[in-house]
Structure 1
């Protein structure tokens, strides 16, 4: 039975690196994979997944209104060979319906789905996609990174252009090291309480 996996972490834990490495393992054995990324995440270019250590690959950009089960079903029957695995980067940007569509890819099409993403936003709140994945994924995997103090980082702080901590704002604001810093809960709380 195929499964829906969710590997989650805070920023800069290596989620995209793990995704690209796992996809490469399939491809190296001649197996077909499909990689998906949110269309508005164009940090590496439209339809590209990239890691901080330089690995990158093409991906299919998805939008909030896209039917991912339908997409995978069409691709699986397009004559290019059966899909061995579906990989989703930045899975926190999935809608709840899309998470269920990916569950159906695993359950009805028999294709494993490996989703990688953030658990919480800069305010410590779950993203809708992450909430749905935490609720229905067959297997959850925490990818760990560390705070400057050496403890496990589980939270992220968003910084403005001057390096000041932001406490309010839109949940989605795509960025990298210039905008986000990962902390343990204690140091996240310290930063959020700064005057």
Structure 2
């Protein structure tokens, strides 16, 4: 039976790489699928991995009806065995419901990949609806790491080198994108994966490098030791 499966995780955990691998495996067995994505780091109509792999994809604007798109292709005689949907955190809840309908009524597998929470540690609407509707929610086994070495659990937005919890929920930045800052000025927007401890302290890798070692930057308490051999 067809399933709606949601693979989730932070940035840098290999979601898009896995999506490309799953597509390759299914095509190698003669299955035919459609690939969808939205706001990929490489631009429109492409699904790309940080490892440098990419493939053509259908862009998903907010007004696209995925059910109608699939039904139209089936009616035209195309064969569709599965859908591969990347960056699903940017899909609307209605589009996620359309994916569930495709699984239930058309018996087509849907493999969805995306980030669970935004830079404020709040669920994306698309990801939330997937968690509510998916047959399975899979957390990717490849763990992204915080600068301190702990498991990365949160996606921090860094504007001009400073972590922020303010702004629009969706701002494409990745490594060196630009966004309008206060007064219309251009600001560099980046994203960094942090553990919960350093996310809550707003301590990015850049802030840690700039600060002197202290209990705020190290994962343990510093203890004064006037007589080192007897500490």
TM-score strictly above 0.5: yes
The partner residue of 1:129 within 100, 105, 126 is 126
TM-score, with length taken from structure 2 = 0.78
Q: Which has the higher contact order (CA 8 A, sep 6+)?
A: 1
- Determine the structure 2 residue equivalent to 1:113: 110
The partner residue of 1:63 within 45, 61, 64 is 61
**Larger Rg, first or second structure (1 or 2):** 2
Following superposition, the deviation at residue 97 of structure 1 comes to 0.9
Per-residue CA deviations over 1:74-116 (Å, capped at 9, x if unaligned) read 2233323x21110111000111111110001110000010110
- Determine the structure 2 residue equivalent to 1:46: 44
User: Is the CA contact (8 Å cut-off) linking 1:8 and 1:117 kept in structure 2?
Assistant: yes
Per-residue CA deviations over 1:2-22 (Å, capped at 9, x if unaligned) read 111111111111101000110
Q: How many pairs align?
A: 190
Secondary structure at 1:83's aligned position in 2? coil
Residue 18 of structure 1 pairs with residue 15 of structure 2: no
Between the aligned partners of 1:118 and 1:42, the Cα distance in structure 2 is: 12
- Determine the structure 2 residue equivalent to 1:149: 148
Between the aligned partners of 1:192 and 1:153, the Cα distance in structure 2 is: 13
The partner residue of 1:73 within 71, 74, 77 is 71
User: Is the CA contact (8 Å cut-off) linking 2:118 and 2:124 kept in structure 1?
Assistant: yes
Unaligned runs of 5+ in 1: none
Following superposition, the deviation at residue 150 of structure 1 comes to 2.9
TM-score, with length taken from structure 1 = 0.91
